[in-house]
C-alpha cells in the first residue's frame, strides 16, 4: 500500500537537500533504548527545562506515514538536522519530526485504525524528564526536556530509539525510521506541506470509512482521491463491499 508515495519521495528529497551539510547527521539505533520511566509525572516546568521543542510560539511539524515496501524505510535510522538536545544554545527550538514506518497487512478496512494506533504510541512514551503535548489535527508537537535529563544524556538518539522500540512492538510493523529537524524555522516549515498532505490523505481515509455514501460531487476530499491512486482503489473496494453487504 503506497498511500504516501508522494510524501515519501518529498521526505527523501528534503533529506537529500540537506545531506552533507554540517547540520546533518545520522545514527543507527541498534540496541533497545534504556531510559528511566517518568512514572507518569511528566510535567517539566520552565524553571527545570533545558530545552523546549516546537512550542506554540515556534514552528512545529510532526507526522507519521507508512509504506508496505520495507526498502522505502531505513530501519533503525535516526536522522537529525540541527542541534541535538544537549547542544541547544537557547531554550527554544523549532521542531520537526517525521516517522516513517513499513508495515504489513494494511488494507481499506484497517488502515485508519492502525494509523491511530501507531500515532498513539508517542503519547505512551513515558521518559523521565521528557514532556510531550501533540495535536494530530494541526500536526504540531510541543515538548520539553528537563535540565536533569540533559545532564544524564537525553538526546534525540534516546528519544528516537524509544519511539522506534515502541513502534516495533506492533506485530505488523517491519521497519521504523525517524527524522528530527531543529536547524531553523525554515527547515521545519519545509516539512509542513508534507505533513499537511499526509494529513489530508488520512482525513480522506477516515471520511471514507466513516461515511457510507461515496458521492464524489459533494465530497471535500475529491482532489486528494484524484491525486492518490491508492485512495481511489480503497474507495472502490469499500463501495463494492457496501453494494454486496460486506461493508464495515
Partner 1 sequence: MAADAARNTRILAVCGKGGVGKTSISAALVRGLLAGGSRKILAIDADPAVGLATALGMNVEKTLDDVRNSLIDRLESGAKEDRRDLVSLLDYEVFGALVESGGLAFLAIGRPETEGCYCQINDILKDIIGSIAGSFDYVVIDGEAGIEQVNRRVMETVTDLLLVSDASAKGLNVVRTIRDVSARLVEHGRAWLMLNRIRGAAELDRLALPDGMDLLGWVPEDENVRLTDIEGGSLLAMRPGPALEAVAACLPRLESAGTERSGQPLKMK
Report the residue from 123, 216, 223, 236 that binds partner 1 according to the rule CB under 8 A. 123
Binding residues for partner 1 restricted to 210-239, rule: CB under 8 A: 210
Q: Does 136 bind partner 1 (CB under 8 A)?
A: yes
Q: Does 62 bind partner 1 (CB under 8 A)?
A: no
Could you tell me whether strands 95-103 and 140-146 are parallel, antiparallel, or unpaired per DSSP bridges?
unpaired
Binding residues for partner 1 restricted to 86-115, rule: CB under 8 A: none
By CB under 8 A, the count of residues binding partner 1 is: 20
- Grid cell for residue 70: 520495507
The alpha carbon dihedral of 125, 127, 133, 134 has a sign of: negative
Longest CA–CA separation in the chain, Å: 61
Report the residue from 8, 35, 66, 142 that binds partner 1 according to the rule CB under 8 A. 142
Report the residue from 16, 20, 31, 43 that binds partner 1 according to the rule CB under 8 A. 43
Strand ranges across the sheet with 140-146: 92-93, 49-53, 140-146, 130-135
| DSSP-H helix ranges across the chain | 5-18, 111-124, 147-151, 156-168, 185-189, 192-210, 222-227, 229-243
Q: Given the complex with partner 1, which of 14 and 130 has the nearer CB atom?
A: 130
> What is the Cα–Cα distance from 185 to 102, expressed in whole angstroms?
28
Q: Does 135 bind partner 1 (CB under 8 A)?
A: yes
Report the residue from 56, 70, 105, 247 that binds partner 1 according to the rule CB under 8 A. 56
Q: Given the complex with partner 1, which of 78 and 131 has the nearer CB atom?
A: 131
Binding residues for partner 1 restricted to 22-41, rule: CB under 8 A: 39-41
- SS3 for 205? helix
**Interface residues toward partner 1, by CB under 8 A:** 39-43, 45-47, 56, 116, 120, 123, 133-137, 140, 142, 210
Amino acid at each position: 500500500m503506497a498511500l504516501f508515495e508522494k510524501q515519501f519521495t518529498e521526505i527523501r528529497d528534503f533529506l537529500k537537500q540537506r545531506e552533507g551539510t554540517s547540520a546533518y547527521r545520522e545514527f543507527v539505533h541498534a540496541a533497545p533504548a534504556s531510559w528511566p520511566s517518568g512514572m507518569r509525572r511528566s510535567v517539566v516546568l520552565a524553571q527545570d527545562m533545558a530545552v523546549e521543542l516546537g512550542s506554540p510560539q515556534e514552528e512545529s511539524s510532526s507526522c507519521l506515514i507508512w509504506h508496505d515496501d520495507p526498502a522505502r524505510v531505513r530501519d533503525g535510522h535516526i536522522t537529525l538536522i540541527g542541534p541535538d538536545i544537549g547542544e541547544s544554545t537557547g531554550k527554544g527550538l523549532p521542531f520537526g519530526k517525521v516517522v516513517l514506518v513499513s508495515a504489513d497487512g494494511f488494507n481499506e478496512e484497517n488502515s485508519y485504525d492502525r494509523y491511530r494506533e501507531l500515532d498513539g504510541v508517542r503519547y505512551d512514551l513515558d521518559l523521565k524528564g521528557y514532556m510531550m503535548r501533540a495535536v494530530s489535527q494541526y500536526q504540531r508537537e510541543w515538548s520539553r526536556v528537563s535540565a536533569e535529563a540533559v545532564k544524564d544524556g537525553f538526546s534525540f538518539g534516546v528519544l528516537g530509539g524509544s519511539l522506534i522500540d515502541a513502534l516495533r512492538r506492533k506485530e505488523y510493523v517491519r521497519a521504523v525510521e525517524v527524522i528530527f529537524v531543529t536547524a531553523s524555522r525554515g527547515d521545519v516549515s519545509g516539512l509542513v506541506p508534507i505533513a499537511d498532505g499526509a494529513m489530508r490523505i488520512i482525513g480522506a481515509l477516515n471520511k471514507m470509512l466513516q461515511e457510507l455514501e461515496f458521492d464524489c460531487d459533494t465530497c471535500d476530499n475529491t482532489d486528494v482521491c484524484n491525486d492518490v491512486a491508492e485512495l481511489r482503489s480503497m474507495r472502490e473496494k469499500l463501495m463494492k463491499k457496501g453494494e454486496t453487504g460486506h461493508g464495515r
